[in-house]
Amino acid sequence: MEDDETFDAGKGSHLNQDGFVSMDAGFMEGAGLNVGAVAGLRDIPNPITVARRIMESEHTFLIGEGAARFAVAHGISRCNPQDLIVPREREEWLALRQALRLNAPYGDTVGAIARDAKGHLAAGVSTGGRKFAVPGRVGDVPCVGSGFYADDAVGAAVSTGEGEYIVRIVMAKRAVDHLAAGMHPQQAAEEVIAYLAQRVGGRAGIIVMDRAGRVGCAYNTFRMGRAWREDGRLIVRVNRED
């Protein structure tokens, strides 16, 4: 998904106030609760790959230039930062700068949960952040427990939405805790979105999977694209009426 310019992740990410992409990602595997996260990348096409390499190292979270150097040391190539900027985002950045939109609309996140034949879970998220963000801004995505969480013993969750609010309720971990308490994934998803709105007034979406592979999703944003496999069928939804 980072290679698809449609999404706010990898190539096609939103631009910050300085006119550059600043990308974050997080990855967690549920067997050993191992985690890797990265923030502030400007010139790595696939930040999720860096997050996974970090997870496989002695580190858990790297940022900026240090993260980029780590990536190169582990066989991941850097690119020209301009190669990640698409015309759509450049035009929108120019319009926002002209209007001095310091509170531009939030961006979005791509996220996925996987469960293999042995029941092992993994959760990954990647984002270019919000539109016209203050340089140095980091949201929920690379924050373990907020943007993503996976535990083979219980389940996994990934978040999207207003990161400044999501981190305040540690949303992904909260959803997994609901699974541990016996909730169905759909109920867990609905509960955390309702709590986010009631407690801090945030807008977001979440997908949740339990250890058995059952899936739930909920959101209080205008829409949220989501897809999953059920009984061998691929199910795709974007709007509420789908």
pLDDT digits (tens, 9 = 90+) for 61-100: 999 999 999 999 999 999 999 999 999 999 999 988 887 6
The pLDDT > 90 percentage for the chain reads 85
C-alpha torsion sign, points 132, 136, 142, 143: negative
Confidence of residue 56 (pLDDT cuts 50, 70, 90): very high
Of 49, 109, 127, 160, the active-site residue reads: 109
Q: With left for phi above 0 and alpha for psi between -120 and 50, is residue 182 left, alpha or beta? A: left
pLDDT digits (tens, 9 = 90+) for 5-52: 888 999 999 999 999 999 999 999 999 999 999 999 999 999 999 999
Alpha-carbon span 221 to 202, nearest angstrom: 9
Residue with tokens 């390499």: 53
pLDDT digits (tens, 9 = 90+) for 172-214: 999 999 999 999 999 999 999 999 999 999 999 999 999 999 9
Rg (CA), the chain: 17
Q: DSSP labels for 65-110? A: HHHHHHHHHTTPPP--GGGG--HHHHHHHHHHHHHT-TTPPP--EE
Residue with tokens 């709105």: 197
Give me the chain's average pLDDT, please.
94
Q: Is the pTM of this model over 0.85?
A: yes
Catalytic site includes residue 127: no
